[in-house]
Amino acid sequence: VTSLTLTGIGQLVTNASGDPGDLGVIHEAAVAVVDGRIAWVGPEARLPKEHREVELLDCEGRAVLPGFVDAHTHLVFAGDRSEEFARRLRGESYEEILAAGGGIHATVAATRMASTTELADGAVARLGRMLASGTTTAEVKSGYGLTTADELRILEAAEEAGRRSPVDVVPTFLGAHVPDKGVDRAEYVDLVIDEMLPACAPLAQWCDVFCDRGAFTVDDARRILTAAKDHGLGARLHAEQLTHTGAAALAADIGAASADHLDHATEDDAALLRGSGVVAVLLPAASFSMRSPQAPGRMLWDSGVKVAVATDCNPGTSNVESMPFVIAVACLEMGLTPEEAVWAATRGGALALRLEDRGMLVPGALADLVILDAPSYTHLPYRPGSNLVWKVVKGGEVVA
Ligand code: NIG
Ligand code: FE
């Protein structure tokens, strides 16, 4: 039995009630961990004797939160698109660059050139920086291969990265990111369904489709996600990011776990998402990095949709690894409150991935915790850009 007890917690976020935005804060708290799981949570004055006689970590008044659950990343890739980024800052558009064969296609070319080990090395480095920012679980999508062999290599690299990093990796097959260069869209959809899905499904838990102008249609996405279900993969969707296509309605109709981005979502979309339990995964750092208007996070939250926030970490639209930064942008640019943004980055992310054992600090949950070098979670949006993470505990061990 390995045990660790955190004492001296000035402010503890538990998310115990499960109600969105209710952080279940306990002051002057302690958390006891036994064998990687939370064994006891409460005011330190009531800490049972058995949990006092183990290794103690005195948090000296700091704030403690559940580890961040980053429910949307594309972090297996090679190459660098800083030149394209600079061109966009000079006025070119993302869609023009993509249509001209750049953008995602530039990353696909670099990714195909890299060995699987090189891809895994890059992913491990990114996961290490994410862990240092408090992320303890990350969803990771494929999508920069666009051939069966390369999509498979990316999922293998994601699996290897998960083994080499303390961060838990949740793999998603995104073969339907964009049609491969020179391949007709309808033909590419057939390739995804007939060849890629059967080959890739054993290495993934989820299937995602980029449903947008310049990528795939709602009909394509429905076909692909229906086929994915037959291979045991749950559905998620890049929806209403660049344009409004009806992808959010599709997500609701097929019972997807999440609809992501939602920059152009409407009130009708919100009603459908709420009614079907689809989690809205909002990516404020992507809109920020694209200099485009934020998703209507306030409207979605107020409509009763369950909301998560994530980095969208990728080389094109959001080269962001830090969930504290995402929380800051969610508050300052999207209009969420600190309580909503922190909940969305922890419990919301776990719900989006349908993970019932994390995103909250209650007995039985995984002992994944972030200790801030600050007295309150409000410092996350209050001090954007500062590294506020003091220590990270993953599965009961201090890992960063
Ligand atoms: O989530 N929307 C599609 N995929 C990514 C961007 C991919 C890229 O530009 O490399 C996104 O924004
Ligand atoms: Fe994305």
Q: How many Å apart are CA 88 and CA 354, to the nearest integer?
A: 36
For 337-385, what is each residue's pLDDT tens digit? 999 999 999 999 999 999 999 999 999 999 999 999 999 999 999 999 9
Mean pLDDT of 314-333: 98
SS (H, E, C) 30-73: EEEEECCEEEEEEEHHHCCHHHCCCEEEECCCCEEEECEEECCC
Q: How many Å apart are CA 75 and CA 391, to the nearest integer?
A: 23
Residue 198 has pLDDT above 90, yes or no: yes
Round the average pLDDT of the chain to a whole number and report it. Answer: 98
CB burial of 241-269 (b: ≥16 within 10 Å; e: otherwise) equals bbebbbbbbbbbebebbbbbbbbbbeeeb
Closest ligand by atom to 70 CA: 2
Q: Report residues near ion ligand 2: CB below 5 Å.
A: 312
pLDDT of 156: 98
Tell me the sheet residues that pair with 26: 12
Q: Measure 166 CA to ligand 2 centroid, in angstroms.
A: 23
Q: How many Å apart are CA 32 and CA 1, to the nearest integer?
A: 13
Q: Which of 70, 72, 73, 74 to mutate to test the pocket of ligand 1 (most atoms within 8 A of CB)?
A: 74
Residue of the nearest CA to atom 8 in ligand 1?
316
Degrees to nearest 5, angle at CA 124 with 78 and 229? 80
Answer whether 0.95 is exceeded by the pTM.
yes
Task: Decide: 273 and 252 in contact? Cβ < 8 Å.
Answer: yes
**Closest ligand 1 atom to 314 CA:** 10
Closest ligand by atom to 139 CA: 2
Pocket (CB within 6 angstroms of ligand 1): 74, 103-104, 107, 210, 238, 241, 286, 312, 314-317
pLDDT of 141: 98
Q: Measure 90 CA to ligand 2 centroid, in angstroms.
A: 23
Tell me the sheet residues that pair with 32: 5, 40
**Closest ligand 1 atom to 178 CA:** 3
pLDDT of 165: 98
